[in-house]
């Protein structure tokens, strides 16, 4: 009976260790932007102009120009996407909206 208890405890500790080792602390790549249906959302935007531009570029936009933060904290500018020049917005949550 004592051996069974010891084996059971070892199995529990080993199983817990295996679960604990499956977690990771490496940063995940930025997901492709899926805009909130109400975006662009007003709010205190902590993105810098460079970060807003990088977010657009990571989501398939190029030639990003004229980014300016409006009174609602939304970055707005122009970019090229699929060969077309479009107006774009990046809100405080990182939502990208093509206008």
The band of 39, judged by pLDDT with boundaries at 50, 70 and 90, is confident
Three-state secondary structure string covering the chain: CHHHHHHHHHHHHHHHHHHHHCCCCCCCCCCCCCCCCCCCCCCCCCCCHHHHHHHHHHCCCEEEEEEEECCCCCEEEEEEECCEEEEEEECCCCCEEEC
Q: What is the pLDDT of residues 44-55, one digit of tens each?
A: 878 999 999 999
Q: Is the pLDDT of residue 65 over 80?
A: yes
Model pTM greater than 0.85? no
Q: What is the pLDDT of residues 67-96, one digit of tens each?
A: 999 999 999 999 999 999 999 999 999 999
Q: Taking the domains of the chain in order of start, what are their residue ranges?
A: 2-98
Q: What is the pLDDT of residues 3-31, one digit of tens each?
A: 544 555 555 544 444 444 443 433 334 44
């Amino acid at each position: 009976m004592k051996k069974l208890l010891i084996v059971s405890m070892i199995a529990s500790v080993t199983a817990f260790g295996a679960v604990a080792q499956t977690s990771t602390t490496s940063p995940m790549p930025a997901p492709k932007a899926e805009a909130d249906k109400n975006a662009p959302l007003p709010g205190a935007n902590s993105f810098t102009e460079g970060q807003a531009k990088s977010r657009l570029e990571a989501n398939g936009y190029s030639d990003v120009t004229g980014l300016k933060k409006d009174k609602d904290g939304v970055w707005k500018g122009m970019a090229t996407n699929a060969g077309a020049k479009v107006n774009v917005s990046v809100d405080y949550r990182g939502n990208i909206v093509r206008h």
